[in-house]
Amino acid sequence: MEIPKSKLSFKYIALRTFFAVLAAFLISSLKLDFIESYFFDLRTVIKTFFEPKQIDTPIAIVLIDDKTIEKLQGDPKFKDHIRFINQVSSHNPKYIIYEFRINDNNEFIDITGTLEEKKEFADAVKNIPNLAVSTQDLQMRGVMQKPTLAPPLDGLTLFSMPFTADNKSFGNDGVSRRIMFQYQDKSMMQPIIASYYNPEIQNVERIRGQFFYLDSLQTYINFHAKGSFPSYKFEDVIDQKVPKNAFENKIVILGSDAEKSIKDYASTPFSRESTAMTKVELQANQIQTLIDNNSPVRVPKPIDIVITILISMFTVYVTLSLTPARGLLILGATLFGVAFIATFFFIVFGLWLDLAHPFLAIFLCYYFFIPYRLIRENRKSWEYYQKHKLLSEVEQLKTNFISMMSHDLKTPIARITGMTEVIYKDPVQLSPHQREALDTIRHSSDDLLKFINAILQYGSIESQGVQLHKQSKDINQLVADVVKKHQFLANVKKIKIVQELEPMFPTSVDPELMKQVFSNLLENAIKYSPDESMVHIRTREENDSLIIEFQDQGMGIPQEDLPNIFMKFFRTHNAKTTTIKGSGLGLYLAQYFVELHKGKITVDSSQDKGSKFTVELPLDK
């Protein structure tokens, strides 16, 4: 039973949508942060391609590297730092940040010297209020005492300027991606320093992209590529080799790049190496992000779910409705398209669209629905196969039945014809009325016999095909024989048969079959032509072929019937409206026999303009 199309498609659409939405919800509920972090990093890297090498920044960094240590014959001592601070201060910086490791006794690890020198350093920094010594320690709620360095440096306050790394969250890969700018309602030092340049963020609620995480407020770092901040060497600063006013109004961050401890470094979206970036540069990135207040904003979860649902529905539609190759192409393009749009939003608007869930939706929906489609199509082709088998069995039965019937009809027809001849030859004079009746009987039984013969031939073609019995024959002779046989029929309709037969070499054909082809064509030409018209038969050699044409001035064949004219049992509309009898098998058999000889038969005709049938046979080599 046929299901109405509208009902079928509605049911299917509803079912597909249901499964797509279900799949999308399942996929969205998966925690794919480790993949998402990878896509975040990738977008960060791509973003930096579009940035200038040196960014416009109020931050300058100063590094102590191996060369510095070599030159000073060891880590810079307190006395070197006194020179450093005096030099930098002479430029009138906004802030100096000491980014050094501190041990449990609250002493600098990499700055040493005698007690005297230490005291001198303490005296020197006393006059510099805008100096901050960074610490990872967070001042806990309720603890009033501010943490300080151990005496004699206890005049120096330690400021919480923490770093975070994704060790137990998000990417789980130890990469630094976040800034913690507030902990237990207490602001960290980075937003305070950044607010000198961007007063808007004095109100931390204004910090873009912020989220709550473990009693703290955080946001994502808008990274700049390594080397984006102007960087100076420690020894150049103390030797006064840096340009005048290089630090004027700047935030100067001093720290180590001597590869002494991995604690001086962090891994970043650019590289997961543990020494990918100095903490100094990471701190610069954190503060710069807050100054520009342009942290990437992660779009809310519901939007991620909606995008995943839409992508799932689209994937299911493409997988089930398009051809496999095209579907794959479109899904590939969708994958790139989504990645491109997400990257564009990230770079231009700082919007972070999740990619892991939509991508997984494309893969899963594709791999889940492809087998479903295969099963469905397999079942369909199996049904087609069964139907086809049944049809050919029915066709076979029909052919057998027609052949059997026709065969059995041949004997009574032969008897009728025989008896008619007996009456014709009887010396008893027939009345004109009786003679007319006898003529009708003879014609009718002739027609019937032709019809039965055509059916029998058709039956044998369909069941076992026809064997060729070829002989070398003069085609013109065969044509002449056929004309002779049909002369009586032509005379009845006063039709003139004109033969223009060029002499030709004999060629090997099955004479009986070929005669039948010509008979069918000539008989049609006479049958479908008006009285007193002409039928032309022409033969000639052309290249390696023999051409035999039958042209009449008859009713012609309508344009729309021409493509079907050689089909079995086909009769044109104009022929069916006349009293001319026919089985629709003559041309089918003619074409079959001609093609058996590796020739071809064509027709050129239009309604009321006559018809020309052309048989082309290959010449013997």
- Applying CB under 6 A, what is the total number of residues that bind ligand ADP? 22
* Shortest distance in whole angstroms from residue 449 CB to ligand ADP: 14
How do strand 216-220 and strand 178-183 relate by DSSP bridges? antiparallel
Q: Which of 305, 316, 475, 575 binds ligand ADP (CB under 6 A)?
A: 575
572 binds ligand ADP (CB under 6 A): yes
Q: Which of 285, 524, 539, 553 binds ligand ADP (CB under 6 A)?
A: 524
Tracing tokens 């080799």 back to the chain, one arrives at: 241
Report yes or no: 87 and 277 within 8 Å, Cβ to Cβ.
Answer: no
171 binds ligand ADP (CB under 6 A): no
Give the phi and the psi of residue 26 in degrees, each rounded to 5.
-60, -45
Give the phi and the psi of residue 255 in degrees, each rounded to 5.
-170, -170
Dig out the tokens for 195 from the structure. 């607010």
Dig out the tokens for 465 from the structure. 């095909």
CA distance 613 to 537: 10
CA distance 140 to 153: 22
Closer CB to ligand ADP, 69 or 521, in the complex: 521
Closer CB to ligand ADP, 176 or 524, in the complex: 524
* Shortest distance in whole angstroms from residue 451 CB to ligand ADP: 8
Closer CB to ligand ADP, 202 or 606, in the complex: 606
Q: How far apart are the first and last CA of the chain?
A: 58
Distances (CA, A) of 363 to 14, 334, 567: 21, 11, 50
Which of positions 401-420 make contact with ligand ADP (CB under 6 A)? none
Q: Which stretch binds ligand ADP (CB under 6 A): 17-25, 195-203, 305-313, 578-586?
A: 578-586
516 binds ligand ADP (CB under 6 A): no
* Shortest distance in whole angstroms from residue 590 CB to ligand ADP: 7
CA-based radius of gyration for the chain: 50
Query: Percentages helix, strand, coil for the chain, rounded to the nearest 5?
Result: 50, 15, 35
How do strand 265-266 and strand 216-220 relate by DSSP bridges? unpaired
Q: Which of 189, 362, 525, 615 binds ligand ADP (CB under 6 A)?
A: 525
230 binds ligand ADP (CB under 6 A): no
Binding-site string for ligand ADP from residue 463 to residue 502, where x marks contact by CB under 6 A and - marks none = ----------------------------------------
Which of positions 544-563 make contact with ligand ADP (CB under 6 A)? 552, 554-557
571 binds ligand ADP (CB under 6 A): yes
Strand order through the sheet with 95-99: 158-160, 131-135, 95-99, 251-257, 59-65, 231-233
Q: Which of 528, 549, 594, 601 binds ligand ADP (CB under 6 A)?
A: 528
Count of beta carbons in the 10 Å neighbourhood of residue 332: 11
* Shortest distance in whole angstroms from residue 597 CB to ligand ADP: 18
Buried b (16+ CB within 10 A) or exposed e, 197-206: beeebeebee
Closer CB to ligand ADP, 315 or 553, in the complex: 553
Closer CB to ligand ADP, 137 or 608, in the complex: 608
Strand partners, 256: 64
Which of positions 579-618 make contact with ligand ADP (CB under 6 A)? 582-588, 611
Closer CB to ligand ADP, 296 or 459, in the complex: 459
Closer CB to ligand ADP, 334 or 453, in the complex: 453
* Shortest distance in whole angstroms from residue 477 CB to ligand ADP: 23
Helices 324-349 and 33-49, axial angle in degrees (round to 10): 60
Dig out the tokens for 51 from the structure. 């940035």
* Shortest distance in whole angstroms from residue 589 CB to ligand ADP: 8
CA distance 349 to 369: 36
Report yes or no: 124 and 85 within 8 Å, Cβ to Cβ.
Answer: yes
Q: Which stretch binds ligand ADP (CB under 6 A): 330-338, 408-416, 419-427, 518-526?
A: 518-526
Which of positions 20-59 make contact with ligand ADP (CB under 6 A)? none
Closer CB to ligand ADP, 545 or 607, in the complex: 607
Strand partners, 366: none
- Residues found near ligand ADP in the complex (CB under 6 A): 520, 524-525, 528, 552, 554-557, 565, 570-572, 575, 582-588, 611
